[in-house]
Amino acid sequence: MEDIAEPSHVELLRRQLRGPWHNMLLDKWVGRGELDYEKYVRTPELLALQTPPEQRVSPDELMFQAVHQSQELWLKLLAHECVETVGELDQDQLWEASARLERVNRMARTLTSQLGVLETLTPETYQIIRRSLGSGSGQESPGYNAVGLAAQGLEEALTRLLWRRGVEPAVLYSRPGLADLKRLCEQLLDYDESYQLWLYTHYQLVRRTIGVDASVKALDGIPTRVLPGRMMKPLFPVLWAVRVEMTAHWRREGGHAPGESRAPAKGEAS
């Protein structure tokens, strides 16, 4: 009789991770899709969305797929929160809008930190995974396109709010009594900056895995060297233009020379 090889420790662990598992604290079986948590989060459907182990072209393919799927979920949520912010701005609910923009900015930073996980993918491994991606491109991402559209709606809502207040964007930083509007605009810029940082991090990811050069094309056929132009495109150009306008009107007069005493002269009021 032929000797049957014993399964390795790795194979045994893989089999165990297929579930279900008995939770001793609850005295229930987890992983069958029968518990309330599993039903609400829809874990059976969610965890079945990844390529099964026996079909993966590399052990790292699960990481690659899971990060991209979670990015789509975050982008979906980001677009949703922006829509809710539009409603709050249109109702002049500025405290609520400000609180939601804080959440939006944290979500955008989460998107960036997740890409850091993908940066652990070495170029030779990605070249293997890349063969099975077809002509897929980040431009095809539903979440990426939805976030761009939601940002347009946000900028239009801000324009309507400023119009109701009788304020031009250029005077936000010079006219007193506009602290609430200025705070909102700064939070929108926080979000915009975090979003552009996400795009920049993606650019660096591309650079690490396939390189950036006129001769290197993404799977959609577009040279990777065009990426810097995309990552510099702001979500709220009106707010960035305010900085340019303020600097255009800046003058040196009224300041202090470096090293010059700033103490008031004798006889002058302090």
pLDDT, tens only, 34-73: 999 999 999 999 999 999 999 999 999 999 999 999 999 9
Residue 262: inside a domain: no
Do residues 24 and 102 share a domain? no
| Residue 7, in any domain of the structure | no
Q: What percent of the chain has pLDDT over 70?
A: 97
- Does residue 67 sit in the same domain as residue 197? yes
Give the domain range for residue 78. Answer: 59-247
Helix (H), strand (E) at residue 29: strand 28-30
Does 54 fall in a domain? no
Domains identified in the chain, total number: 2
Q: b vs e for 161-196, b when ≥16 Cβ sit within 10 Å of the residue's Cβ?
A: bbeeeebebeebeeeeebeebeebbebbbbbbbbbb
| 3-state DSSP helix/strand/coil % of the chain, to nearest 5 | 60, 5, 35
* CATH code for the domain in which residue 189 is found: 1.20.58.480
Peptide linkage before 20 cis (omega within 30 of 0)? yes
* Residues linked to residue 28 through DSSP beta bridges, in sequence order: 23
Tokens of 39: 């039903």
Beta-bridge partners for 217: 223
Same domain, yes or no: 27 and 158: no
168 secondary structure, DSSP code: -
H or E element at residue 132 = none
| Residue 255 in domain | no
Name the DSSP class of 56.
-
Give the Å distances, CA to CA, from 218 to 3, 128, 141, 144, 203. Answer: 50, 15, 14, 17, 12
Provide DSSP, 202-252: HHHHHHHHT--STT-B-TTS-BGGGHHHHHT--S-HHHHHHHHHHHHT--S
**Residue 229 and residue 221: Cα distance in Å, rounded?**
17
43 and 163 belong to one structural domain:
no
Left (φ > 0), alpha (ψ -120 to 50) or beta: where does 137 sit? beta
My answer on whether 154 and 223 are in the same domain is yes
pLDDT at 196: 94
Same domain for 31 and 124, yes or no, is no
What pLDDT is stored for residue 99 in this prediction?
98
Residues of the chain with pLDDT under 70: 1-3, 267-270
Choose among 72, 60, 218, 235: nearest CA to 148: 235
Whether residues 138 and 218 share a domain: the answer is yes
Same domain, 31 and 95: no
Q: Are residues 84 and 190 in the same domain?
A: yes
pLDDT for the residue 268: 61
CB 125 within 8 A of CB 197: no
Query: Of 119, 108, 121, 118, which is closest to residue 197 (Cα–Cα)?
Result: 108
Instruction: Specify whether 226 is located in the same domain as 134.
Output: yes
Same-domain status, 111 and 132: yes
Same domain assignment for residues 74 and 145: yes
